[in-house]
Amino acid sequence: MPQPASEGLPAPGGDGTTESCEAGRVGSPGPRPLARTIRSPAQGQEDSIPSAQAGASADLCGAFTTALPISRAAIATLGQPFDTETVCTSDDLAAKISELQLDLGEGPGWDAYASRAAVLAPDLATLPPSTWPLLRPSLTAWNVRAVYSFPLLIGSLKIGAVDLYAESSSALSSTDVADAAALADQAATDVMRNALAHRHDEAESDGPYSRREVHQATGMVIAQLGIAAEDALLLIRAHSYASGRPVRDVAADITARRITLEP
């Protein structure tokens, strides 16, 4: 079974408590929490979703790969008040994993975000098949053997998660986990600061991992089919999964009116 977050470690949110969280067992939100962040452009809300990507530095992720014995790192914002997007990654493979988590709506980052506690999976091979069933095959194919995820918290506000990937099992000691939690606290502050500083920057929606087009496509599906935002996003994700294409590519086809989804 996966390890829960160790007792006695500093809480990722810095509020003096540590919650126990087993990988795949604590309130995995699946697609729905992402769906609740969607705002229909038709309602004039698109511009009100700030991006934390603008102004983000690779040093945000580099701090983790430098200080800890891990292979890769990725930081993503996962809900209000921000857009749902990858903020930074240590390398291209970390970017692929992060984007896949966002596309599927499942994974350690989502669980850490939902539970407000660290999700520690030091050996993916020991997890039950029901844990991240859509994400796990790709992690295995990409030689990821261990995953450690920490929520990004500013007081009571949840803004996202940092995911750490290792190519060997049991990569992090309890001391390393404590250090990672402290780095996650700092990363949360930096992400918030970057987002506020660049909130009105018109270039913020043009980043390499921007998911703004997914929001636009979701709004179009809502208008066309008269369904809820979470159902519209579920249709887009289902089409993505069935066609083997990234959600962002499917969204681009929808906004360009190259494809039309049916309920």
pLDDT value of position 92: 95
85-89: strand order across its sheet: 85-89, 72-77, 157-166, 146-154, 119-121
pLDDT value of position 156: 79
Mean pLDDT value of segment 215-240: 86
> Per-residue pLDDT tens for 160-219?
999 999 999 998 999 999 999 999 999 998 888 887 676 544 444 555 666 788 889 999
Report the distance separating Cα 86 and Cα 106, nearest Å.
Answer: 14
pLDDT value of position 53: 55
What is the radius of gyration, based on Cα positions, of the chain?
18
Q: What number of other Cβ atoms are within 10 A of residue 77's Cβ?
A: 29
Question: What pTM did the predictor assign?
Answer: 0.66
Q: What is the 3-state secondary structure (H, E, C) of 147-172?
A: EEEEEEEECCEEEEEEEEEECCCCCC
Bridge partners, residue 154, by sequence:
157
> Per-residue pLDDT tens for 73-99?
999 999 777 788 999 999 999 999 999
> Per-residue pLDDT tens for 44-80?
333 334 455 544 555 889 999 999 999 999 999 997 7
Alpha helices per DSSP H over the chain: 32-35, 59-67, 92-104, 108-115, 136-141, 174-197, 212-225, 229-243, 247-255
Report the distance separating Cα 122 and Cα 193, nearest Å.
Answer: 31
> Per-residue pLDDT tens for 113-138?
999 999 999 999 999 999 999 999 99
Q: Does domain 32-202 have CATH number 3.30.450.40?
A: yes
More confident residue, 42 or 145: 145
Locate the domains of the chain by residue range. 32-202, 211-255
CB 23 within 8 A of CB 108: yes
Say which CATH architecture domain 211-255 belongs to. Orthogonal Bundle (1.10)
pLDDT value of position 8: 32
In percent, the amount of the chain with pLDDT more than 70 equals: 72
In this prediction, residue 37 has a pLDDT band, given cuts at 50, 70 and 90, of very low
Pairing of strands 119-121, 157-166: unpaired
Tokens of 230: 């979470």
Considering only CA atoms, which of 65, 36, 52, 85 is closest in space to residue 218? 36
Instruction: Compute the mean pLDDT over every residue in the chain, rounded to the nearest whole number.
Output: 78
